[in-house]
Amino acid sequence: MEPVLVIMAAGMGSRYGGLKQIDPVDEAGNLIIDFSIFDAHRAGFKEVIFIIKKEMEADFRAVIGDRISSRMKVQYAFQRLDALPAGFTLPKGRQKPWGTTHAVLCAKNEIGNRPFCAINADDYYGPAAYRAVYDYLTGSRPDGEHALVAWNLANTLTEHGSVARGVCQVRNGYLTHIEERKTIIQEGDGGAFTEDGGKSYTSLPGGTPVSMNFWGFGPEMLPLLETIFQTNLNSGAAAADPLKYEDLLPNAVQSAIALGEAKVRVLTTPDRWFGVTYREDKPLVEASIAACKAQGLYSERLW
């Protein structure tokens, strides 16, 4: 079946202070998400599912969805805080979304029994990643095997602060371990992470493969994620921090690998990732988009 693009966008409003405050990154008025959708469409994707919060639907349709619907089939899924497995109730005072694993599960009805590519809404990934994952999902993918597109760490860092990345270990082209490092800074030609608030740092080579939440999943991943999410809600971590606990896709995929329920092929890309993690990143993003256009990757107007 034809794969579908799934864009996790429920956090956009909180990160940018509302959709109307998302700034264009070129003179044509394009947003970062426009380049993602354009690259995916060019690679072969014909349908996109936006995972958003219900309260941002009108703004999202006006700013993004309605423009895209003339080029691709558009569906919406809503990440609701109370969309929890049977037997679980929303903790009193919880306002924070449950994380990217939960986001994907909120779109399971829209995804159906189809392979899908799941990405973040506010990251620029470059065209190579979409071509690689589309070819993978439309090829002879073994049942129970999925894909991750990995970037070299050095191609994903910002000089303006720390970032979170899923640090990968790879053997014979397959992911053997992925661990979310929440505070990675730029250091020389690579990076370094801290787990003690900056008292000490562990260096990471610039060529370290990292996850930027760019996944190619078969439909059989959805029930796995459902089981893992439910298990994690029962765990001590979720109970210890009921207002802020998040279930992240890299951690859920690691659990599936550890259980022997999934294999993940690692695809690579030479492209540089960029995004507006910090407001100070915007000039670099604008310059990078301009450079891509100068190289002929994009015309001045995308569509």
Q: Is 242 inside a domain boundary?
A: yes
The 10s digit of each residue's pLDDT in 8-54 is 999 876 656 666 667 799 999 999 999 999 999 999 999 999 999 99
DSSP letter string, 48-59: EEEEE-GGGHHH
**Rounded mean pLDDT of the chain?**
93
Strand partners, 140: none
Strands 145-152 and 263-268: parallel
**pTM listed for this prediction:** 0.94
Q: Is 163 inside a domain boundary?
A: no
Taking phi first (over 0 means left), then psi (-120 to 50 degrees means alpha), and beta for anything else, what does residue 262 get?
beta
Q: Is 224 inside a domain boundary?
A: yes
pLDDT tens for the 303 residues of the chain, in order: 899 999 999 987 665 666 666 779 999 999 999 999 999 999 999 999 999 999 999 999 999 999 999 999 999 999 999 999 998 999 999 999 999 999 999 999 999 999 999 999 989 999 999 999 999 999 999 999 999 999 999 999 988 889 999 999 999 999 999 998 989 999 999 999 999 999 999 999 999 999 999 999 999 999 999 999 999 998 877 889 999 999 999 999 999 999 999 999 999 999 999 887 777 888 989 999 999 999 999 998 898
Q: Is 201 inside a domain boundary?
A: no
Domain that holds residue 227: 4-147+210-294
CA angle 87, 107, 275 (to 5 degrees): 120
At 90, which CATH number? 3.90.550.10
Q: Is 174 inside a domain boundary?
A: no
Number of domains the chain is built from: 1
Q: Is 262 inside a domain boundary?
A: yes
CA-to-CA dists, residue 9 to 48, 52, 76, 104, 122, angstroms: 12, 5, 10, 11, 8
The 10s digit of each residue's pLDDT in 268-288 is 999 999 887 777 888 989 999
Q: Is 189 inside a domain boundary?
A: no
Q: Is 302 inside a domain boundary?
A: no
